[in-house]
Amino acid sequence: MSLPVPARAGLDNPLAGIQHPVRAELELVSSRMWDIVADDNPLIDEVNRHLQGMQGKLLRPALVLLANAVEETRSTLAIDHAAVVELIHLATLVHDDSVDHSVLRRGMPTVNSVFSHQVSVIMGDYLYSQAVRHLVSTRDMESLTVIADAARTMTMGELWQLSAVDRLQFSEEEYFQLNHAKTASLMSAACEVGAICGAPSHRVALARFGERLGMAFQVADDLLDYIEGQEITGKPSGADLRERKVTLPLIAALRRMPTTARREVERFFETPEPGQAAISRVIGLVVEADGIEYARRKGEQFAQEAEEIVLALPDTAARSALLELVGYVLDRRW
């Protein structure tokens, strides 16, 4: 596998083909989501309509449904769980955009930029609370426990990131711990709750698969910020650097940089509002120090681990889709 390559204009969305075995259920998930958070309050209704226009490709709901189908004994409860997982993911994005003062998400204006940071924070809370309320109504306490644990882990990850003092001292181990908390924990939970109501004998394996997939996903995402433009990610190129986020390409490069290059990076992080030229310069230094290639190899390692787990599952259409999903995560078109 290679990680990642530029998109080609006009290329069909590869995730659509991967989701084919659960396409009918995914269509129900989308409508279920908005039923869960529907309300007569005019502001909630307006924000919900804005969020519907920003809806992503339903990767995490697909994980729930595919995990549920690995033994070809599907439960309708998985549709509810998939909707809940996506709402929790959406809540974290709404909160993240407010914390980061982001203006774009998936190429569209963020909730905080259209409404306000106050509305964004409260709406994120609303999405989360409605999702949990709906999950409680299913009376699936095992899945509730899994989702609650993942939500706590994600929150602790956010607090941990905010408490970092010297970001340039951020270690590779700390980076991976943060990725597990902020990204991989929810993907793991998505696979696990899907298994709970459809393939319980594979619950542990699928949870581990989701975690490894999530780690590969985040490394790929961090790489895209260095090597792709806004037309791919829906965010400005170098957005992580602009926000002073230290990710694996930079962590790896700092270990190899000569003193003069490292001092340039340090000055960059001391600059209140760096311009695109300064961002491009740091990206160039990271490339020169092989930070991109190092991160690429690490992402491939996580993907390989996820692939090995999938290959031990029953040979079904769902397993084939999960296997394809590993490749998509490393080489995805936004």
Beta bridge partners of 108: 105
Least confident stretch, 200-209, 237-246, 247-256, 274-283 = 237-246
pLDDT digits (tens, 9 = 90+) for 303-316: 999 999 999 999 99
Q: β-pairing, 108-109 with 104-105?
A: antiparallel
Task: Pick the most confident of 46-55, 95-104, 235-244.
Answer: 46-55
Instruction: Report in angstroms the alpha-carbon separations of 120 from 71, 151, 242.
Output: 40, 18, 21
Half-sphere exposure of 99 (CA within 13 A, CB side): 13
On whether the CB atoms of residues 75 and 81 are closer than 8 A, the answer is no
Instruction: Specify whether the CB–CB gap between 190 and 208 falls below 8 A.
Output: no
Question: Which one, of 160, 152, 155, 165, lies nearest residue 177 by Cα?
Answer: 160
Q: How far apart, in whole angstroms, are the C-alpha atoms of residue 155 and residue 147? A: 12
Higher-confidence residue: 144 or 101?
A: 144
Are 320 and 19 in contact, with CB atoms under 8 Å apart?
A: no
The model's pLDDT over 215-243, given as tens digits with 9 standing for 90+, comes to 999 999 999 888 875 444 555 468 889 88
Backbone angles phi, psi at 165, to 5 degrees: -90, -60
Tell me the pLDDT band of 252, cut-offs 50, 70 and 90.
very high
**Is the pLDDT assigned to residue 183 strictly greater than 80?**
yes
pLDDT band at 161 (very low <50, low <70, confident <90, very high): confident
Instruction: Kindly state the helix (H) or strand (E) to which residue 108 belongs, with its residue range.
Output: strand 108-109
* CB within 8 Å of 150: residues ≥ 6 apart: 88, 185, 186, 188, 189
Query: Residue 55: its pLDDT value, please?
Result: 85
Distance CA 128, CA 131 (A): 5
Q: Rounded mean pLDDT of 70-92?
A: 95
- Rounded CA-CA distance 110/53 in Å is 11
Cα–Cα distance for residue pair 99/170, rounded to 1 Å: 20
pLDDT value of position 165: 63
Give the span between the Cα atoms of 110 and 326, in whole angstroms: 28
The third-level CATH classification (topology) of the domain covering 22-330 is Farnesyl Diphosphate Synthase (1.10.600)
**What distance in Å separates the CA atoms of residue 121 and residue 158, rounded to the nearest whole number?**
14
CA 93 – CA 82 distance, rounded (Å): 17
How buried is 165 (Cβ within 10 angstroms: 0-12 exposed, 13-18 middle, 19+ buried)?
exposed
Residue 284 is predicted with a pLDDT of 93
Which band of pLDDT confidence, cut at 50, 70 and 90, is reported for residue 101? confident
CB 164 within 8 A of CB 38: no
- Range 116-128 average pLDDT: 95
| 5 pLDDT higher than 70 | no
**Taking Cα atoms as reference points, which of 304, 331, 248, 334 lies closest to residue 2?**
331
